[in-house]
Amino acid sequence: MDIYKDFIDNSINPFILFDSAGEVLEYNKEGEYILSIAKKEELFNLAISHASMSFGFKHSFIDLDIGHASFCAITVGYKDSERLGLMLHKNVCSKKVAPPSHELQSANIFTLIDIAINTNLDENSKITAEYDVSIPEFKLDIKRFLQLLNKIFKALRDAAHIYIKVTIATGRSIKINKKKYQVVLVEIRSQEVAKLAIKDDEFFLSYDKDRLTIELPFIL
């Protein structure tokens, strides 16, 4: 019977168990991450608002974003008045975007990032970079991407430290013209990110406290 608990612990969907006062009793690994970026009171209220009127389980389809994660449904269940369970179901479907409005060109993403860094940041700026150098050149709107990077790094000019990570996002895809593409994830982290309000209709941008994430379709 322990395998049931093992499946919950290793599920990609966050699970949190509350007591009647909203205190957290248990959580799985994904639940721990969600609790690190969202207030437990907000999650408890979310569970209460989607719970069934009587003992049992209720599934609701919703559109919810928490940090970098997107959820399409939640399950709330309780068998007594002492414990309330919440499971958030990740949206693992492809994101759909319109075809790019400009011609795409092959480029080395690491070179583009370095160009933006050298253009906008002081040579003494403390930068930590973690690049998946196995990512080859891929197609993107070079001009628009550089413009976006320039805005970001110009705004972070006075940041004490900037962490940059580029990797392929496991399990994610972007759909363009009914075709799925893997996602190249560009993560920029700094205490100053919380002050940014940069947006761009051409790219997927998301903010999570000190972290800004850009999602790019991996078009070869």
pLDDT digits (tens, 9 = 90+) for 66-113: 876 778 889 999 999 999 999 999 876 555 555 565 678 999 999 999
Mind listing the pLDDT tens digit for each residue in 160-174?
A: 899 999 999 876 777
Buried b (16+ CB within 10 A) or exposed e, 21-32: eeeeeebbebbe
Look at residue 192 in the predicted model and tell me its pLDDT: 85
Pairing mode of beta strands 83-90, 69-78: antiparallel
Specify the 3-state DSSP secondary structure of 196.
Answer: coil
pLDDT at 198 over 90: no
Q: Could you give the CA distance from residue 119 to residue 162 in angstroms, rounded to a whole number?
A: 15
Q: Is the model more confident about 56 or about 95?
A: 56
Rg (CA), the chain: 20
70, 34 in Cβ contact below 8 A?
no
Across 40-44, 135-139, 155-159, 186-190, least confident range: 155-159
Site of tokens 């994830």: 185
Residue with the bigger pLDDT between 167 and 179: it is 167
Cβ 191 vs Cβ 208: under 8 Å: no
Give the integer Cα–Cα distance in Å for 70 and 193.
Answer: 20
Average pLDDT over residues 132-138: 95
pLDDT at 37 over 80: yes
Average pLDDT score over residue span 15-20: 95
Domains with residue ranges and CATH for the chain: 2-90 (3.30.450.20), 97-217 (3.30.565.10)
CB 125 within 8 A of CB 164: no
Per DSSP, the three-state class of 9 is helix
